[in-house]
């Protein structure tokens, strides 16, 4: 650019300013001579961790522990750790849930602790907790607190607690009287807790998820039996229907009100129950099992590990050693109700006085089982959650669910070992989501074009109030998709939604439909909302097209006696072709890439029936930590979309257009 | 007779387009026992602002609005600035070349944002800009640039060539020409482009979700979609509808005022793809 010197100078200054600002924003503030070690945990209610850290600071004055209060959600805290590892500034102290261990270890984010934590020291801890701390024969964490699923029962109502499914069934039939007194409450919402519940039935039936050679064993009689039994609990009204929305806290509140004979929950509930009207009326036993099988509670719990690539691993170990010692665990137990991981503490007189039920709890802990120790556990769990939930809600039959679980998990585990191209062929979720994406596009786009054309024709008619009309058509387009998806969720709600109400009033349906919780209903709702949202876009484009048709052409045709249908067919549609083409390309591409609407409206559920490709790719990248494969699918998807557009352009270009170019 | 039919059809179209919006407002104005009443109550018996107040007092909704304003405002400013520079340069090229460059840009603009989330995330994570206003602003600017360039280029082209010469005579540098002459003269296009870009950014969801994952950085659409309670029975539908209403009303007002230009901008923007 000639004579642009001033401009270049001014420009350089400006760019310089922006870069400086940018750098300033990125510099982390840090200045301290002490060794500072950070850890993230839940909010420290009761101050137990503060107490442990205070004592540690007294003993080791040159180490400072910085306890960061993270969110309650364990997923969110896991993400905080992952982000810290990925960003190259790992947190020193890794306070982790038992199910993160394999994943973190496999990614190389943790230091093995074998040299500090020898075999004879490990033997002082509960055996199951130690087992779950290993990955590929090396140990990566020291257990701080243990946790196990078990059965609470009402001692005052039941003389002999059930051991087997049959005894349980008998007791429910005899003693429960819903809706005043149900048989059992558990955690039935679609989340990690549901898998913990499900695994106890699966193990209790003699089944397992992965065998020693990591083969998937879910298409089995045991799995079908476990799913059937869980379904039966809901169908026979032994559990209230609302358990399908319960997490731990909800179950506890329900049980606390004395409205159920049994509850499946973790040890923490005991303390609260003994400060409630049920004091002394509640007992604990290992979870129920099938006759002839062994009972097993799901092992939970938290432990401490060391982030790899940090400066002072020795200092971190000093804290871990202290925080898992007898005295620290005792503080955590007394102030926070944490279950200790050292065997000796179960004999401790103080703890026995505080928690007399620990003798029974110890037995349950010895019989517990860790969830599958696999680096991709999060993904496996997501698959299990979905199908167990689908069975409980009643949209999948147990044998179908068992089959789908097996295929889905094994295609995933196998697929990870293959290269990306081979993986395409076995990726069960990919096939399912591509099918859904296709279905969604095919159902929504033609309607949008048709309705858009109708609207454009109506709006183009010389009527009064056209401005108002055009404004109202613009509105759906201008509103945020994600926000309006929430509005549609409310309108499709059962029973409070307006759509059911309108349909019932005009007599189209007899009783409210479960729009969003049945596969077909959810797909219909998504398509319907998308049509509403995007028809205006088509209308505006086609309206511009209609206005480009010369008035005299229309008039001369009418004078020749051509009615509206004839004019539409021979003049309007041909003239509109270029506009229709553009609308079509835009709509196909955006319908195929749909994300916002479905993510908010149905989250891809129920049982994956509305999960489209974009949702799957998003999950791959941001939930399953497979950025590479997700990126690969994105590229393929993009190429497909471009090819589709080319095909549309080629097939929809009229001959005269080609000539004129 | 035909006219009446057309009016009826037009009425149906309006009803269809506006119903979800009206229903949201009606729900937002109901006290919570009327929200959850069966059979459904259509017109609220008592009007209450309880829901709207709760949105601000019980949740950080004010914070979400602030985040949205910062991001959408910042992105609009950045987009307009960069787009004018590009459009200014395109104007100095001959029309054919300029059109070809623009076509290239517009192909990028048609990609659904869901497919851009991963690449954006990877790049911004490397720059340590995830969870940073500036990161999302950059992403939005990149996303809206093709559209803005198109609009501004069309406007700049309309200005007569003689204007350049006159400016050169008066000793304006090229940047001076752009900022002191071209931009003021194209003010209508600049403002409509700005409004549309602002609306696009205000509405955007997936990038906001992935690039600003911490709760204090949620924009309004992300915040609203996360408003659900822990179970079906706890979802605060009244408050959610109030939040939806509060987010959508400003957009609707803008659209109502600028209707004609919005339609023009949208069609030119879309047509040239």
**Mean pLDDT, residues A169-173 taken together:** 94
Distance of alpha carbon B177 from the chain centroid: 29
pLDDT at A167 over 50: yes
Give me the residue from B38, B114, B225 closest to A593, CB to CB.
B114
CB contact under 8 A, A495 and B38: yes
pLDDT at A256 over 70: yes
Contacts of residue A531, Cβ cutoff 8 Å, sequence gap at least 6: A444, A447, A448, A451
> Which structure tokens are listed for A191?
């989340």
Helix (H, G, I), strand (E, B) or coil at A216: strand
CB contact under 8 A, B128 and A544: no
- Residue pair A471/B259 in contact (Cβ under 8 Å)? The answer is yes
Give the model's pLDDT for residue B45.
79
Give me the residue from A250, A498, A596 closest to B205, CB to CB.
A596
Report the relative pairing of strands A260-265 and A150-154 from DSSP bridges. Answer: antiparallel
Give the model's pLDDT for residue B81.
94
Give me the residue from A22, A482, A592 closest to B221, CB to CB.
A482
Tell me which DSSP letter residue A2 carries: T
How far apart CA A427 and CA A411 sit, in angstroms, is 6
**Domain ranges for chain B:** 2-48, 60-271
How far apart CA A46 and CA A82 sit, in angstroms, is 27
Give me the residue from B18, B118, B175 closest to A634, CB to CB.
B118
**Mean pLDDT, residues A298-303 taken together:** 94
- Whether A81 has its CB under 8 Å from any CB of chain B: the answer is no
> Which structure tokens are listed for A605?
């559920």
- Residue pair A131/A176 in contact (Cβ under 8 Å)? The answer is no
CB contact under 8 A, B10 and A469: yes
What are A463-472's pLDDT values in tens digits?
A: 777 777 888 8
Give me the residue from B7, B122, B205 closest to A481, CB to CB.
B205
CB contact under 8 A, B125 and A490: no
Within chain A, what is the greatest distance between any pair of CA atoms?
A: 105
pLDDT at A103 over 70: yes
CB contact under 8 A, B18 and A461: no
pLDDT at A655 over 70: no
- In this predicted model, which residue has the larger pLDDT, A13 or A444? A444
Tell me the pLDDT band of A540, cut-offs 50, 70 and 90. confident
Give me the residue from B18, B113, B225 closest to A472, CB to CB.
B18
Give the model's pLDDT for residue A365.
92
Paired strand residues for A154: A282
Helix (H, G, I), strand (E, B) or coil at A128: helix
How far apart CA A379 and CA A381 sit, in angstroms, is 5
- Residue pair B83/B110 in contact (Cβ under 8 Å)? The answer is no
Residue labelled with tokens 């799995």: A223
Contacts of residue A181, Cβ cutoff 8 Å, sequence gap at least 6: A175, A258, A259, A260, A261
CB contact under 8 A, B203 and A10: no
**Mean pLDDT, residues A233-255 taken together:** 87
- Give, in order, the Cα–Cα distances in Å from A559 to each of A363, A553, B2: 95, 10, 18
Strand ranges across the sheet with A182-185: A182-185, A260-265, A150-154, A282-285
Residues A260, A266, A270, A276: is their CA dihedral positive or negative?
negative
Inter-chain contacts counted by CB atoms under 8 A, chains A and B:
235
- Of A279, A136, A294, nearest in space to A208 by CA: A294
Helix (H, G, I), strand (E, B) or coil at A135: strand
- Give, in order, the Cα–Cα distances in Å from B193 to each of A200, A430, B186: 59, 39, 11
**Mean pLDDT, residues A129-147 taken together:** 94
Q: Is this prediction's ipTM beyond 0.90? A: no
Q: For residue B230, which residues of chain A lie inside 8 Å, CB to CB?
A: 247, 250
Residue in A487, A538, A543, A582 to test binding to B, most B beta-carbons within 10 Å: A487
DSSP E strands, A272-368: 282-285, 299-306
CB contact under 8 A, B27 and A582: no
Residue labelled with tokens 């690449």: B119
Q: For residue A490, which residues of chain B lie inside 8 Å, CB to CB?
A: 23-24, 27, 237, 240-241
- Of A190, A565, A568, nearest in space to A387 by CA: A190
**Mean pLDDT, residues A353-367 taken together:** 89
CB contact under 8 A, B255 and A468: no
Distance of alpha carbon A355 from the chain centroid: 35
Q: What domains sit in chain A, N to C, each tagged with a CATH number?
A: 35-140+302-343 (3.40.190.10), 148-298+372-417 (3.40.190.10), 426-660 (1.10.3720.10)
Q: Which uninterrupted H or E stretch holds A152?
A: strand A150-154
How far apart CA B71 and CA B132 sit, in angstroms, is 10
| Minimum CA–CA partner of B134 in chain A | A22
In chain A the first and final C-alpha atoms are separated, in Å, by 34
Give the model's pLDDT for residue A31.
45
Q: What is the 3-state secondary structure (H, E, C) of B135-186?
A: HHHHHHHHHHHHHHHHHHHHHHHHCCCHHHHHHHHCCCCHHHHHHHHHHHHC
CB contact under 8 A, A469 and B40: no
**Mean pLDDT, residues A616-625 taken together:** 84
Give the model's pLDDT for residue A208.
94
How far apart CA B11 and CA B5 sit, in angstroms, is 10
CB contact under 8 A, A250 and B222: no
pLDDT at A30 over 50: no
- Of A367, A374, A332, A379, nearest in space to A210 by CA: A374
Alpha helices in A358-480 (DSSP H): 358-366, 377-393, 398-417, 420-426, 428-460, 466-478
**Mean pLDDT, residues A259-275 taken together:** 90
- Residue pair A223/A405 in contact (Cβ under 8 Å)? The answer is yes
CB contact under 8 A, A458 and B221: no
- Give, in order, the Cα–Cα distances in Å from B198 to each of B193, B194, B209, B220, B222: 8, 6, 18, 13, 16
| Minimum CA–CA partner of A83 in chain B | B125
How far apart CA A508 and CA A511 sit, in angstroms, is 9
Percent of chain A with pLDDT over 70: 93
How far apart CA A145 and CA A341 sit, in angstroms, is 5
**Mean pLDDT, residues A53-74 taken together:** 87
What are A515-536's pLDDT values in tens digits?
A: 887 888 889 999 999 999 999 8
- Of A281, A262, A254, nearest in space to A169 by CA: A262
Helix (H, G, I), strand (E, B) or coil at A648: helix
DSSP string, chain B: -HHHHHHHHHHHHHHHHHHHHHHHHHHHHS-HHHHT-SSPPSS-SS---HHHHHHHHHSTHHHHHHHHHHHHHHHHHHHHHHHHHHHHHHHHS-HHHHHHHHHHHHHHHTS-HHHHHHHHHHHHHHTT-TT-HHHHHHHHHHHHHHHHHHHHHHHHHHS-THHHHHHHHTT--HHHIIIIIIHHHTHHHHHHHHHHHHHHHHH--HHHHHH--SGGG--HHHHHHT---SSGGG--HHHHHHHHHHHHHHHHHHHHHTHHHHHHHHHHHHHT-
Tell me the pLDDT band of A296, cut-offs 50, 70 and 90. very high
Residues of chain B short of pLDDT 50, as ranges, are 229-233, 272-273
Q: What is the 3-state secondary structure (H, E, C) of A467-518?
A: HHHHHHHHHHHHCCHHHHHHHHHHHCCCCCCHHHHHHHHCCCCCCCCCCCCC
Distance of alpha carbon A258 from the chain centroid: 32
Q: Burial-class residue A24 by CB neighbours within 10 Å (0-12, 13-18, 19+).
A: exposed
Give the model's pLDDT for residue A500.
86
- Residue pair B116/A634 in contact (Cβ under 8 Å)? The answer is no
Instruction: Compute φ and ψ for A110, nearest 5 degrees.
Output: -120, 150
Give the model's pLDDT for residue A25.
53
- Residue pair A515/A494 in contact (Cβ under 8 Å)? The answer is yes
Contacts of residue B86, Cβ cutoff 8 Å, sequence gap at least 6: B145, B149, B153
- Residue pair A322/A124 in contact (Cβ under 8 Å)? The answer is no
- Residue pair B205/B222 in contact (Cβ under 8 Å)? The answer is yes
Contacts of residue A361, Cβ cutoff 8 Å, sequence gap at least 6: A148, A150, A267, A284, A339, A346, A355
pTM of the model: 0.76
Report the relative pairing of strands A35-41 and A63-69 from DSSP bridges. Answer: parallel
- Of A211, A194, A190, A203, nearest in space to A410 by CA: A211
**Mean pLDDT, residues A277-296 taken together:** 92
Tell me which DSSP letter residue A239 carries: S
Distance from CA of A592 to the nearest CA of B (A): 9
Top-confidence range, A26-30, A92-96, A605-609:
A92-96
Give the model's pLDDT for residue B233.
46
CB contact under 8 A, B252 and A479: yes
Give the model's pLDDT for residue A591.
93
- Residue pair A165/A206 in contact (Cβ under 8 Å)? The answer is no
Q: What would be the CATH architecture of the domain defined by B60-271? A: Orthogonal Bundle (1.10)
How far apart CA B159 and CA B167 sit, in angstroms, is 13
Q: For residue B14, which residues of chain A lie inside 8 Å, CB to CB?
A: 468-469, 472
Distance of alpha carbon A603 from the chain centroid: 9
Give me the residue from B40, B206, B231 closest to A595, CB to CB.
B206
């Amino acid at each position: 650019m000639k004579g642009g010197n001033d401009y270049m100078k001014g420009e350089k200054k400006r760019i310089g300013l922006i870069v400086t600002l940018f750098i300033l924003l990125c510099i982390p503030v840090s200045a301290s001579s002490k060794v500072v070690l950070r850890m993230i945990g839940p909010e420290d209610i009761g101050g137990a961790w503060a107490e442990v850290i205070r004592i540690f600071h007294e003993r080791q004055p040159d180490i400072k522990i910085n306890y960061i209060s993270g969110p309650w959600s364990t997923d969110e805290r896991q993400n905080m750790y992952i982000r810290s590892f990925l960003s190259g500034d790992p947190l020193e102290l890794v306070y982790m849930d038992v199910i993160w261990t394999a994943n973190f270890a496999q990614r190389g984010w943790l230091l093995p602790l074998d040299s500090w934590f020898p075999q004879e020291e490990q033997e002082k801890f509960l055996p199951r907790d130690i087992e779950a701390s290993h990955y590929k024969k090396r140990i990566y964490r020291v257990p701080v607190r243990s946790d196990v699923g078990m059965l609470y029962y009402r001692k005052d109502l039941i003389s002999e607690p059930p051991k087997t499914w049959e005894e349980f069934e008998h007791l429910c039939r005899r003693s429960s009287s819903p809706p005043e007194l149900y048989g059992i409450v558990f955690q039935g919402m679609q989340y990690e807790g549901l898998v913990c519940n499900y695994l106890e039935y699966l193990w209790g039936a003699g089944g397992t998820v992965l065998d020693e050679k990591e083969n998937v064993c879910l298409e089995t009689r045991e799995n079908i039996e476990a799913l059937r039994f869980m379904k039966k609990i809901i169908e026979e009204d032994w559990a209230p229907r609302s358990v399908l929305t319960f997490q731990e806290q909800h179950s506890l509140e329900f049980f606390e009100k004395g409205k159920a004979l049994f509850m499946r929950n973790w040890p923490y509930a005991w303390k609260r129950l003994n400060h409630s009207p049920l004091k002394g009326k509640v007992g604990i036993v290992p979870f129920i099992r099938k006759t002839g099988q062994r009972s097993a509670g799901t092992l939970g719990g938290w432990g401490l590990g060391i982030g790899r690539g940090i400066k002072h691993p020795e200092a971190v170990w000093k804290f871990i050693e202290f925080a898992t010692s007898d005295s620290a665990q005792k503080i955590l137990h007394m102030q926070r109700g944490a279950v200790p991981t050292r065997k000796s503490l179960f004999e401790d007189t103080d703890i026995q006085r505080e928690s007399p039920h620990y003798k029974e709890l110890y037995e349950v802990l010895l019989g517990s089982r860790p969830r599958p120790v696999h680096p991709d556990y999060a993904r496996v769990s997501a698959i299990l959650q979905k199908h167990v939930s689908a069975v409980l809600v009643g949209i999948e039959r147990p044998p179908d669910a068992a089959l789908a679980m097996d295929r889905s998990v094994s295609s995933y585990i196998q697929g990870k070992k293959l290269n990306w191209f081979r993986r395409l062929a076995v990726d069960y979720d990919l096939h399912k989501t591509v099918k859904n994406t296709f279905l969604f596009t095919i159902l929504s786009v033609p309607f949008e074009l048709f309705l858009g054309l109708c609207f454009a024709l109506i709006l183009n008619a010389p009527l009064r109030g056209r401005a108002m009309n055009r404004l109202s058509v613009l509105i759906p387009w201008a509103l945020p998709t994600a926000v309006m998806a929430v509005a549609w969720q409310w309108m499709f709600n059962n029973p409070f939604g307006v759509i059911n109400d309108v349909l019932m009033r005009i007599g189209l349906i007899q009783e409210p439909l479960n729009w969003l919780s049945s596969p077909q209903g959810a797909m219909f709702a998504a398509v319907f909302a998308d049509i509403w949202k995007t028809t205006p876009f088509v209308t505006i484009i086609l309206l511009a097209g209609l206005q480009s048709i010369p008035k005299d052409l229309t008039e001369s045709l009418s004078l020749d006696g051509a009615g509206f249908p004839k004019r539409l067919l021979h003049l309007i549609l041909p003239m509109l072709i270029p506009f229709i083409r553009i609308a079509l390309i835009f709509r196909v591409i955006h319908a195929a890439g749909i994300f916002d609407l479905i993510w908010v409206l149905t989250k891809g559920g129920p049982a994956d029936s509305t999960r489209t490709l974009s949702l799957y790719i998003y999950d791959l990248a941001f939930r399953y930590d497979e950025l590479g494969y997700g990126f690969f699918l994105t590229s393929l998807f993009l190429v497909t979309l471009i090819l589709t557009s080319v095909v549309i352009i080629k097939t929809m270009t009229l001959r005269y257009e080609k000539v004129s170019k | 007779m035909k006219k009446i039919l057309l009016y009826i059809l037009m009425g149906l179209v309006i009803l269809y387009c506006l119903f979800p919006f009206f229903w949201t407002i009606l729900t937002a104005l109901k006290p919570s026992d009327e929200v959850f009443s069966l059979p459904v109550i259509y017109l609220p018996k008592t009007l209450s602002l309880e829901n709207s107040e709760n949105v601000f007092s019980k949740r950080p909704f004010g914070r979400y609005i602030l985040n949205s304003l910062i991001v959408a405002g910042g992105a609009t400013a950045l987009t307009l600035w960069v787009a004018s520079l590009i459009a200014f340069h395109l104007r100095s090229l001959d029309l054919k070349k300029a059109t070809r460059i623009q076509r290239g840009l517009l192909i990028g603009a048609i990609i659904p944002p869901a497919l851009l989330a991963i690449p954006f995330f990877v790049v911004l994570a490397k720059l340590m800009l995830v969870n940073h206003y500036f990161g999302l602003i950059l992403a939005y600017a990149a996303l809206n640039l093709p559209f803005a360039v198109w609009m501004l280029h069309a406007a700049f082209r309309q200005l007569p060539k003689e204007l350049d010469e006159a400016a050169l005579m008066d000793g304006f540098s090229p940047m001076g020409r752009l900022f002191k002459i071209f931009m003021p003269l194209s003010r209508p296009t600049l403002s409509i482009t700005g409004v549309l870009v602002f609306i696009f950014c205000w509405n955007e969801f997936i990038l906001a979700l992935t690039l600003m994952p911490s709760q204090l950085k949620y924009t309004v659409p992300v915040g609203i979609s996360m408003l659900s309670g822990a179970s079906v029975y706890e979802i605060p539908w009244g408050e959610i509808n109030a939040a939806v209403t509060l987010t959508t009303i400003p957009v609707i007002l803008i659209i109502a005022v600028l209707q004609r230009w919005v339609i023009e901008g949208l069609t030119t923007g879309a047509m040239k793809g």
